[in-house]
């Protein structure tokens, strides 16, 4: 149906192979027969989780994000340890590491492609309920503060730009719709 849109790979080279990012440069044949270069980032994928407390508050994390040069408010998340890692397991691990909480129930909200113009990263979004508090155990290079915010306030923060991280905005709005509190 969309064959007139498909680009076909002619060649591929690795530009950079880092700890998190793997940059590729591909030569492609365009639908009109011409050739073009596509530079893109190969990513193993990730999971995020929005924990919901019985009182209607969600648990978010504050952390400094170097690429945007500021402290952000986000849902807990992390990359898959391997492309074949179960995304639910990754969500459970990140929930425990970043917040100290464990969940009785984790339900899928959706999967999103984060930046389709230059990366193949997919992030699996989950909601967690039936939470039990525990001890936060972040990675050595992670400095995270846990914040509890009423879901209604998180929606307003997503709408007015105080929360601007894409996975977090999507998770907050989808959970609010699911709980019938979207304004």
Sign of dihedral through CA atoms 82, 133, 65, 47? positive
Cβ–Cβ < 8 Å for 110, 148: no
To 10 degrees, what angle do helices 151-160 and 166-178 make?
130
Predicted pLDDT at 140: 81
Domains plus CATH for the chain?
Answer: 3-42 (no CATH), 46-178 (3.90.79.10)
Evaluate if residue 181 carries a pLDDT over 90.
no
DSSP code of 80? -
Query: pLDDT tens-digit profile of 50-83?
Result: 999 999 999 999 999 999 999 999 999 999 998 7
| Helix, strand counts (H, E) of the chain | 3, 10
Q: Alpha-carbon distance 133 to 79, whole Å?
A: 23
In the chain, % of residues over pLDDT 90: 86
CA distances from 46 to 85, 121, 122, 131, 183 (A): 10, 7, 6, 21, 29
Q: Alpha-carbon distance 127 to 61, whole Å?
A: 15
Cβ–Cβ < 8 Å for 29, 12: no
Residue 129 known to be catalytic: no
pTM: 0.93
Model confidence band, residue 183 (pLDDT cutoffs 50, 70, 90):
low
**Of 44, 55, 39, 4, nearest to 21 (Cα)?**
44
Active-site position among 140, 142, 153, 156: 140
Predicted pLDDT at 3: 86
Predicted pLDDT at 28: 97
């Amino acid at each position: 149906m969309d064959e007139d849109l498909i680009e076909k790979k002619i060649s591929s080279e690795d530009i950079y192979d880092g700890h998190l990012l793997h940059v590729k440069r591909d030569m492609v044949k365009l639908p009109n027969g011409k050739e073009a270069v596509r530079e893109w980032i190969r990513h193993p994928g990730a999971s995020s989780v929005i924990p919901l407390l019985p009182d209607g508050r969600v648990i978010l994390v504050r952390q400094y994000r170097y690429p945007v040069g500021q402290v952000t408010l986000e849902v807990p998340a992390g990359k898959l340890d391997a492309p074949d890692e179960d995304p639910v397991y990754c969500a459970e691990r990140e929930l425990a590491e970043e917040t100290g909480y464990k969940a009785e129930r984790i339900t899928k909200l959706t999967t999103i492609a984060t930046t389709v113009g230059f990366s193949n990263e997919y992030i699996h979004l989950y909601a967690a309920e039936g939470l039990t508090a525990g001890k936060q155990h972040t990675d050595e290079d992670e400095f995270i503060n846990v914040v509890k915010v009423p879901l209604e306030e998180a929606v307003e923060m997503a709408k007015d730009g105080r929360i601007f991280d894409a996975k977090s905005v999507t998770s907050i709005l989808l959970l609010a719709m699911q709980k019938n509190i979207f304004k």
